[in-house]
Chains A and B, each alone.
Chain A
């Protein structure tokens, strides 16, 4: 799996957009970008994934650069409950039905302040 680089921590004001960057300069053509988060010792929670197009769901938006070497997770209106460690993970998503482990790094601790 390609290596990812994320800032150790970030702060965001409640109600504002939180933009979490991730660098993955060695990403391969068949690797997807995944985002998970972990709220204080709870199980990791899937947020979103993408290959090359921007993606949006009810939780967040994912912007992937054209060269796919970096991406940004956007929480449009951060709340106090969004305070968590956010993990950017790059891996193959699907290959003949095989399942693939997730390799977690240290992630970014996002603190949403009132």
Chain B
């Protein structure tokens, strides 16, 4: 069964450093998302992406964040200058366009630890 994959599974970085989290969505999907979950808190929407542009973003997704689909398979989330409060699990998700594949399917997540 096709699945969303994410790398790395765990990333440790120092405050102020740039990080790039990578995702490979399900191959025939067209919509891509990033969510995050701070330890012990709810899963929060960050951004959705379609047709090479952001279709919606939350208040969390400020100028420090950016997303990109650099090729036909990867979908990346970049945090330019990490802060301690960026420590969280980051989940990528994808969904298709037809009514059969419209549900969002999530990857296993990347645990980001900012020290």
Residues of A within 8 A of B (CB): 34, 38, 41-46, 49, 87, 93-94, 97-99, 101-106
Q: Is the CB of B50 within 8 A of A99?
A: yes
Q: Is the CB of B105 within 8 A of A46?
A: yes
Q: Is the CB of A41 within 8 A of B109?
A: yes
Which residues of A lie under 8 Å from residue B58 when comparing CB positions? 101
Bound: A34/B105 CA distance, A: 13
Which residues of B lie under 8 Å from residue A93 when comparing CB positions? 102
Q: Is the CB of A104 within 8 A of B42?
A: yes
Bound: A41/B43 CA distance, A: 10
Bound: A9/B36 CA distance, A: 23
Which residues of A lie under 8 Å from residue B43 when comparing CB positions? 38, 44, 87, 102, 104
Given A49-B103, A93-B102, A101-B56 in contact, is the A42-B109 Cβ separation under 8 Å?
Answer: yes
Query: B75 in the interface, Cβ–Cβ < 8 Å?
Result: no
- Which partner residue on chain B sits nearest A47 by CB separation? B103
The A interface is mostly helix, strand or loop, or mixed, namely loop
Quote the shortest CB–CB distance from A105 to chain B (angstroms): 7
- Interface stretch, picked from B11-19, B64-72, B89-97, is B89-97
Q: Is the CB of A45 within 8 A of B48?
A: no
Given A43-B91, A44-B43 in contact, is the A101-B33 Cβ separation under 8 Å?
Answer: yes
Question: What does the 1/0 interface line of B80-115 toward A look like (CB < 8 Å)?
Answer: 000000000101010101010011111111010000
Give the interface size bracket for B toward A: 20 to 34
Q: Is the CB of A101 within 8 A of B91?
A: no
- Which partner residue on chain A sits nearest B33 by CB separation? A101
Quote the shortest CB–CB distance from A106 to chain B (angstroms): 6
Given A38-B43, A44-B43 in contact, is the A102-B104 Cβ separation under 8 Å?
Answer: yes
Can you report 13 A-B residue pairs in the complex whose CB atoms are below 8 A from each other? A38-B43, A42-B109, A43-B93, A43-B107, A46-B106, A87-B43, A93-B102, A94-B102, A99-B33, A101-B33, A101-B45, A104-B42, A104-B43
Bound: A43/B23 CA distance, A: 13
Of B48, B91, B99, which one neighbours A99 at CB under 8 angstroms? B48
